[in-house]
Structure 1
Amino acid sequence: MTVWDRPEPPRPVPLDRERIVAAAVALADEGGLEAVSLRKVAARLHAGPMRLYRYISTKEELFDLMVDEVHAEILPEERPGDWREALRLHAHRTRRAALRHEWLADLLGGRPSLGPNALAVTEAALSALDGLADLDTVLRAVETVNAYCTGAIRREVAGLRAERATGLSKRDWQRAAGPHVTRMLATGRFPALARAVHDGTEVDAETSFAVGLDWVLDAVAARLARPEV
């Protein structure tokens, strides 16, 4: 039985899952997933840890509930009429949610989220493509967009964490690493990389995400145009 199928203790009681999950999300926003435990959540709520076990059996269940809570922020308020805009909106809302709650990046891409909000997000993505191709093509298209989002978000969040851990901004790190990179490129062993470093255009994370997403959606559009291939 999943945590969503298990009924809460009868009221009136001073706790409920909504308050527990809100406290857990706040702790994770402040200190990451390592800051979350049933004991710490109980302390935040001024309750004994054993009382939380009436609502949640394990920390993994708590994480499941936290992920579903954030999916409420991803779910679009209105469904766009165009499939491409629907998947683009889904991707950007997922990225923004992960930047507000960086710990989400650590939990994306694992087991499917089965909470009501996560299921509604998946329903919105699948229904945007409904009728445009056979079911397997639709499933692979949504999986492809989700895989791109997960990888791009994890990379961006990892960069933000590295900046905080080292105290160096991306520009500071580039300056510090510059002499080493210059020496390596001067060997002539990395001509393609040298061209990228010297002649490539650097863009910010949001632009990089948007451009990459458009390329993925272009590929999905091509596949939808010839689903038999």
Structure 2
Amino acid sequence: MDTPYGSEALPIWERPEPQPRAAPVPLSREKIAAAAIRLADAHGLDGLSVRKIAKELGVGPMRLYDYVINRSELLDLMVDVVYARIAEVIQQSAWRATVLAIAHATRDAALDHEWFSDLLGGRPHLGPHALAVGEATAAALSQAPAVRGIDGLQRALGALNAFIIGAVRREVTERRTARSTGTDEATFQAGLGPYLTRMLETGRYPTIARLVIDGAHLNAEETFHHNLTTVLDGITGRPRT
């Protein structure tokens, strides 16, 4: 395809939507993404295929290739739909409120669409809504105390994103493990209780013993917020000397 940038294909965000045509089932990228998200929510990314999406929409598989070239483009569309939801919280009064709102909205979106967590942390997402979320996050952090210059901003963004992605993936992984094993975290811990008690009674693991015996069972949302604010305080609180 000849483009203003040479002979390479334009990314999906810059390619015009195919013109509507007379057909029993009208299609659009928005409809395709919505159907793909429904399937991924129900069956995960492994259960996602062009054939299944086409069946969900009631069309032939080849019609979808007028709108998306490959699976990678399909995932790009799906991800940007989720980022559109996250972008709804951007308008906050202060930089810290903006960062906290985006982080919590990212967690909420990942818990509603678990497959989304599988696509975080790799290559950057560059759809229009993903860019809007990235711009809002970077702009907010650039106003934080102790974030100095572009290098400081890059490090702050890296630390924040590493925390969010790690926390979200850990929570989603526990959910999936509970479903696949039929055992929730409390039941798992109870089953290994006698073994762990014997090991702790050896005296070799005194700090772990304190955590097990004295530590409270923490609420996931409260823990996410507490740890998020701790990380945010650390990366924006005071300059290194």
TM-score (norm 1): 0.93
1:76 aligns with 2:91: no
Q: 1:149 aligns with which of 164, 177, 185?
A: 164
Q: Structure 2 matches for 1:2-21, cutoff 5 A?
A: 2-12=11-21, 14-21=26-33
1:173 aligns with 2:188: yes
CA-atom RMSD in angstroms:
1.5
Q: Which moved more, 1:59-68 or 1:110-119?
A: 59-68
Q: Which moved more, 1:35-44 or 1:174-183?
A: 174-183
Kept in 1, the 8 Å contact 2:89–2:101? The answer is no
Q: Structure 2 matches for 1:56-205, cutoff 5 A?
A: 56-132=68-144, 133-205=148-220
Q: Which moved more, 1:69-78 or 1:114-123?
A: 69-78
Cα distance in structure 2, aligned partners of 1:131 and 1:25: 35
Aligned residue for 1:182, secondary structure, equals helix
**Structure 1 vs Structure 2: percent identity of aligned residues?**
48
Letter in 2 for 1:53: Y
Cα distance in structure 2, aligned partners of 1:92 and 1:77: 10
Aligned residue for 2:223, secondary structure, equals helix
Kept in 1, the 8 Å contact 2:163–2:228? The answer is yes
Q: Which moved more, 1:165-174 or 1:152-161?
A: 165-174
Cα distance in structure 2, aligned partners of 1:205 and 1:184: 27
Deviation at residue 78 of structure 1 after TM alignment: 4.8
Deviation at residue 34 of structure 1 after TM alignment: 1.2
- Structure 2: state its 5+ residue gaps: 1-9
Kept in 1, the 8 Å contact 2:90–2:133? The answer is no
Cα distance in structure 1, aligned partners of 2:177 and 2:198: 24
Match of 2:36 in 1: 24
Aligned residue for 1:129, secondary structure, equals helix
Deviation at residue 76 of structure 1 after TM alignment: 3.3
Cα distance in structure 1, aligned partners of 2:90 and 2:194: 51
How many residues end up aligned between the 2 structures? 226
Alpha-carbon displacement from aligned partner over 1:6-44 (angstroms, at most 9, x marks no partner): 222222351110100000000011111112111110110
Match of 1:45 in 2: 57
Match of 2:232 in 1: 217
Letter in 2 for 1:9: P
Question: CA distance change for structure 1 residues 131 and 148 in 2, over 3 Å: closer, same or farther?
Answer: closer
Cα distance in structure 1, aligned partners of 2:131 and 2:84: 10
- Structure 1: state its 5+ residue gaps: none
Letter in 2 for 1:112: P
Deviation at residue 81 of structure 1 after TM alignment: 2.5
Deviation at residue 131 of structure 1 after TM alignment: 4.9
TM-score (norm 2): 0.89
Letter in 1 for 2:59: A
